[in-house]
């Protein structure tokens, strides 16, 4: 049985996506349902900055189809302030809110700060405290973590070594039996479109991964000019999974940047 490749963007609340993903007259309350017509998943990056209200989380859940997949970005309180230490109380608070997504909450991304140097015992304890029914991915912003020992810790907990382009290093191994890819802009700082040509090598690798029965989650964070939307659509086409919304041919979006 083939795996699933979910493709979406990092966040969806961008006013400058009017005329790209959202028709000009569409109320912001309708943005998430509109987004979910185009993509099967979203990375909620606002959960990194603050805990959402339960009513907000419940609204996210009710605004999306039954098979929609949410990824929540883990709280920076745990990664940047507590620095993975004494995490259990903070984790209980975090999951106490995001669990209102129900079965649509499939994965959490933990972005570690560049100043956090390798401490594999601390990482092990942090992952051990995570719920078993939600996939965990870890994004390292310090290249010193890119070692076999890190991979071994992640593998023991079924966690994915996040693949991202903030720097050139690639994960020494793919861990957890699934993949998490983050694209942050071809020219850096959340800018620059990759285009079909730039994404083709990734699509080939993901197709092979899918044939092996493995899942992957891909999120584009190059939100400037709506490039994340167009790159996500391009990757879906390359994967043979074109978006049902057909945004690029939508007459309501004739002013969109091609």
pLDDT tens, residue by residue, 199-215: 999 999 999 999 999 99
Percentage of the residues of the chain whose pLDDT score is greater than 90: 90
Q: Looking at the domain assignment, is residue 109 inside a domain?
A: yes
Per-residue confidence band for 244, with pLDDT thresholds at 50, 70 and 90: confident
pLDDT higher than 60, residue 222: yes
Q: What is the pLDDT of residue 62?
A: 98
**Which 3 state secondary structure label does DSSP give 253?**
helix
The mean pLDDT value for 232-248 works out to 87
**Which 3 state secondary structure label does DSSP give 94?**
helix
pLDDT higher than 50, residue 249: no
Query: 0.85 exceeded by the pTM?
Result: yes
Between 167 and 28, the more confident residue is: 28
Q: Looking at the domain assignment, is residue 224 inside a domain?
A: yes
Rg over alpha carbons for the chain, rounded to the nearest Å, is 18
How many folded domains does the chain comprise? 1
For residue 199, the domain's CATH number is 3.20.20.410
Token digits of residue 55: 């009513």
- What is the span of the domain harbouring residue 58? 5-253
Q: What is the pLDDT of residue 255?
A: 46
Contacts 24+ apart (CB under 8 A), 76-84: 76/48, 76/49, 76/111, 78/110, 78/126, 79/110, 79/111, 79/112, 79/113, 79/116, 80/113, 83/113, 83/116, 83/122, 84/112, 84/116, 84/119, 84/122, 84/123, 84/125, 84/126
Q: Looking at the domain assignment, is residue 197 inside a domain?
A: yes
Q: Looking at the domain assignment, is residue 258 inside a domain?
A: no
């Amino acid at each position: 049985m083939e795996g699933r490749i979910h493709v979406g963007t990092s966040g969806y609340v961008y006013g400058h996506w009017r005329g790209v993903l959202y028709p000009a007259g569409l109320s912001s309350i309708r943005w998430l349902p509109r987004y979910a017509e185009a993509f099967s998943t979203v990375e909620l990056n606002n959960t990194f900055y603050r805990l959402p209200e339960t009513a907000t989380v419940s609204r996210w859940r009710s605004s999306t189809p039954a098979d929609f997949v949410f990824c929540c970005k883990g709280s920076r309180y745990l990664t940047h302030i507590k620095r993975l230490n004494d995490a259990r109380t903070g984790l209980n608070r975090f999951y106490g809110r995001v669990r209102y997504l129900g079965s649509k909450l499939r994965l959490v991304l933990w972005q570690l700060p560049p100043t956090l140097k390798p401490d594999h015992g601390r990482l092990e304890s942090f992952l051990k405290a995570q719920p078993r029914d939600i996939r965990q991915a870890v994004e390292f912003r310090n290249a010193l973590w890119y070692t076999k020992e890190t991979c071994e810790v992640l593998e023991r907990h079924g966690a994915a070594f996040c693949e991202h382009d903030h720097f050139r290093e690639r994960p020494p191994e793919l861990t957890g039996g699934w993949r998490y890819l983050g694209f942050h802009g071809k020219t850096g700082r959340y800018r620059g479109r990759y285009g079909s040509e730039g994404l083709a090598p990734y699509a080939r690798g993901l197709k092979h991964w899918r044939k092996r029965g493995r899942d992957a989650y891909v999120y584009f964070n190059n939100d400037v000019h709506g490039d994340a939307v167009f790159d996500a659509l391009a990757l879906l086409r390359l994967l043979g999974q074109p978006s049902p919304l057909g945004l690029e041919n939508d007459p309501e979006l004739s002013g969109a940047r091609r």
